[in-house]
Every structure is written in structure tokens, then in C-alpha cells.
Structure 1
Amino acid sequence: MAPKVLIVCLGNICRSPIGEAVLRHVASERGVDLTVDSAGTAGYHVGEEPDERALAVCAKHAVAIDHAARQVNQADFRKFTHILAADEANLRNLLHMQPSDSTAQVKLWGSYADGKPINDPYYGSNKDFQETYRQCLDLSNAFLDDLAKL
């Protein structure tokens, strides 16, 4: 069965949709069969497109991004094999909301590489979005490398 991965941040308009797009792109380039989605632990932006700076950084790197923000729900913990949080606060929120019948492995995405969180670029500049893209690229490769070991 192909892995199903959910990338999670707070509002699902910056880090997680970039992460979703980048992981899908890298998996495709590497020939890895993978389902990828993203969501937020909060419902602030449900139904909205990603932040225009997230769209721009993905376009700059020729990474397709098409997503409408949504909030994590209980079914996600059974639907996905891996739920990867952008930072510790979102990881805590996920672990708090994780139902007892969860089948997903829930962890910090950064734990596959340097252990660092993906800082929220929302109040930052284009440079911060570029850094988010770079981290998502590194973490996508690290995650896929880990899957290849199984």
C-alpha cells in the first residue's frame, strides 16, 4: 500500500501547502507512489487558496500547487499513514486531537532531518517563504529516504 502523507501547519495557507506541493513533486521525480495532502490545526482560512507568496515561491521552482485550506479532522488519523507537523505547537495540537483508534504515525516533519521546525513565514518576507521552500525540499528528500529503508 502506498504511503499517504498529511502535512500540517496552523492555518494551511503557507507551510503545509508548500510542503504538500514539494513532497508531491519530489516523490514524482523520484518515482515514489505517494498520496499527499495538507491541512491546518486551526480553521482560520478554510476554503482559501494558499498565500500568494506560497504560490509565487512554488511557481519560481516550477512546483505545481493547487490547494484549498482545510482543517485536520478525526478521519485524517485513520486515512493517512503519516501526519507530519511543521512545528512543535502543531505537533502538540495533533497529539491532543489524535483519537484512540488512530493508525497514523504522527510526528514532527523535521525529525526526519535536522529536528528543526519549519518557522511560519506568514508575517515575514519573500525570503522567509524561500527558506520555507528550501526546508520543505530538504525534508521531502529526507522523508522519502527514510521510506526507502522500509
Structure 2
Amino acid sequence: MAPSVLIVCLGNICRSPIGEAVLKHVASERGVEITVDSAGTAGYHVGEEPDERAVATCRKFGVPISHAARKVHPDDFHRFTYILAADESNLRNLQRIQPKNSTASLKLWGSLVDGRAIEDPYYGDMDGFESTFNQCVKLSHAFLDEVLGEFDTKTSL
């Protein structure tokens, strides 16, 4: 069964939709079957498309992006294999609402590389969005390396 991933930031219009688009793209390039979605811990932008700068950045690098913002739902902790938080604040919010019988593996996405949070580019310029994009590329490869390693270990037992 293909793993499923939920990438989470605060409003689900910048970091997490970029992360979703990039992870889908990198997985496709690597021939990895995976389900990816994104959400926010706050409902400020529910139903909205990603920030226009997030869309422009993804298009600049040839990565398709299409998403309507949504808020994390308790069912997500059962629907997804992995839930990856963009930063410590959102990780704490996720831990606070995580059901006791959750089956998802919850972690800071940056913990897979350097422990750095994905900084929110919303109040900055295009450079911030490109930095977020590039960080998501590195994190996507690191995540897929980890998942493929786990899968290889499980299948060889």
C-alpha cells in the first residue's frame, strides 16, 4: 500500500501547498507511488487557492500546483501514514489535537535534514517563496529516502 502524507502549516496557502506540490512532483520523478495532501492548523483561508506567489514560484520551476485550503481534521490522524509539520508551532498544535488512537507518524518535516523549520514566506517577497520551494525539494528527497528505506526494511523481513 502506498504511503500517504499530509503536510501542515498554519493557513495552508503558502508552505504546505508548496510542500504538497513539490513532494508529489519529486515522488513522480522518482517513480514513487504516494498520496499527498496539505492542510493548515488554522481555518483562516479555508477554500482559498494557494497564495499567488506560491503558485508563481511552483510554475517558475515547472511544478504543477492545485489546492484549496483546508483545516486539519481529527480524521487526518487516521487517514494519513505521515503528518509533516512545517514548524514547531504547528507541530505543537498538531500534538495538541492528535487523537489518542492516532495511527499517523507525526514529525517536524525539517527534522529529516537539519531540524530547521520552513520559515513562513507570507510577509516577505518572492525570495522567501523560492527559499521555501528549495527547502521543500530537499525535504521531499529526504522524506522519500526515509520512507523507501522503511519500506525496504519491512519487505525484507
Tell me the TM-score range normalised by the shorter chain.
over 0.9
> 1:13-92 maps to which residues of 2 (within 5 A)?
13-92=13-92
Distance of 1:47 and 1:114 partners within structure 2:
32
Return the letter of the residue paired with 2:76: D
Partner of 1:47, secondary structure, is coil
**1:103-142 residue CA offsets vs partner (Å, 9 max, x unmatched):** 0000000011111000000000000000000000000000
**1:60-86 residue CA offsets vs partner (Å, 9 max, x unmatched):** 001000000000000000000000000
Structure exhibiting the larger radius of gyration computed from Cα positions: 2
Distance of 1:30 and 1:7 partners within structure 2:
19
Number of residue equivalences: 150
> 1:94-133 maps to which residues of 2 (within 5 A)?
94-133=94-133
Shift of 1:148: 1.5
Return the letter of the residue paired with 1:144: L
**1:10-34 residue CA offsets vs partner (Å, 9 max, x unmatched):** 0000000000000000000000010
Structure 1 stretches of at least 4 aligned residues deviating more than 2 Å after TM superposition: none
Partner of 1:8, secondary structure, is strand
The residue that corresponds to 2:140 in the other structure is 140
Partner of 1:92, secondary structure, is helix
Distance of 1:45 and 1:39 partners within structure 2:
10
Distance of 1:129 and 1:104 partners within structure 2:
28
What RMSD, in angstroms, separates the aligned Cα atoms of the two structures?
0.4
The residue that corresponds to 2:12 in the other structure is 12
Return the letter of the residue paired with 1:149: G
Distance of 2:13 and 2:58 partners within structure 1:
13
- Give the TM-score taking structure 1 as reference length: 0.99
